[in-house]
Amino acid sequence: MRIDIVTIFPDYLAALDLSLVGKARRAGLLDLRVHDLRDWTRDRHRTVDDTPFGGGAGMVMRPDVWGSALDDLLVPAGTASGGGARLVIPTPSGEVFTQRHAEALAGEGHLVIACGRYEGIDARVAEHYRGAGHRVSELSIGDYVLNGGEVAALVMVEAVGRLLPGVVGNPESLVEESHGAAGLLEYPVYTKPPSWQEHEVPEVLLSGHHARIDRWRRDRALERTAQRRPDLLSALDAGDLDAHDRAVLADAGWEVVAGPGDGGSGGASHESRPAVVRRGVAE
């Protein structure tokens, strides 16, 4: 996979030489290049921004400078326009980046990540490249404000990089982790020593009884999700919950109810899908 990152702070991305992503680069699994946006300016001051039309605080990044950079990077030399690379624009006004986005991006051959400052890149840039047939994703990493897209680019490259074939040594470690397919947070984990500061590792984990260990871990994942991320429980497919799951959720204050409009047919329509709701909430 190839990733080009364009920024006015290339040094910010130095962390991508380290750890798993750095290793993937050196192994040739990831061709990652960081570019200085100012290399595409043409004035003596290497200007990348200007004041916003319509007034207001801060500066907006100029579309002409971004256009020169993205024309060079999105369309490989000798290729027609459109197709090819996906343009990713980190922005606090984007869709929230999730593991599902990471999985989709990991399936791309080429990403170009355009890091703007927080007031943003002139809106015509995304519009222009969409119109030219590029896939464009405007993505936020969460509901808080950063000064620029660089930290978000680090987050996205790490989340995507570890999904590339051969990057994570044991692909099994990708299966059960939080925000995986089960839609639950990960269960708590323990290692040696078995007793530390008078805190003991739960007995069942020392038992060697794999079915009981799996059940215990699923119970803890359900409880933890109910406590910390109730929004994830509401999004669960209740059809994936067995009687034991439902009992654990009931203890945590959640129950499975027929969806609105359910006629008891168990049909697959959206209206009749059973829902996981807080106890005492009708639907």
Task: For the CB of residue 142, give the shortest distance to ligand 6GU in the complex, in Å.
Answer: 5
Amino acid at position 8, single letter: I
* Listed residue (202, 208, 170) closest to 189, CA to CA: 202
Looking at 42-50, 135-143, 205-213, 228-236, which segment touches ligand 6GU (CB under 6 A)? 135-143
Span near ligand 6GU by CB under 6 A; candidates 146-154, 158-166, 178-186, 247-255:
146-154
Contact 138, 152 (CB under 8 A): no
Q: Where are the beta strands (DSSP E) in 8-69?
A: 31-36, 49-50, 60-61
CA–CA separation, 46 and 69 (whole Å): 13
Q: Which is nearer to ligand 6GU, 116 or 252 (CB)?
A: 116
Instruction: Name, in order, each residue with C-beta under 8 angstroms of 202's C-beta and a sequence gap of 6 or more.
Output: 190, 216
Kindly state the smallest distance separating residue 170's Cβ from ligand 6GU, in Å: 30
Paired strand residues for 105: none
DSSP 234: H
Per rule CB under 6 A, is residue 84 in the interface with ligand 6GU? Answer: no
Q: Which is nearer to ligand 6GU, 154 or 167 (CB)?
A: 154
- The distance of closest approach from Cβ of residue 156 to ligand 6GU in the complex, given in angstroms and rounded to an integer, is 8
* Contact of 40 with 70, CB cutoff 8 Å: no
Answer for which of 126, 136, 149, 245 binds ligand 6GU (CB under 6 A) is 149
Binding residue (CB under 6 A) for ligand 6GU from 77, 145, 268, 282? 145
Q: Which residues in this chain contact ligand 6GU in the complex, by CB under 6 A?
A: 90-92, 118, 140-142, 144-146, 148-149, 152
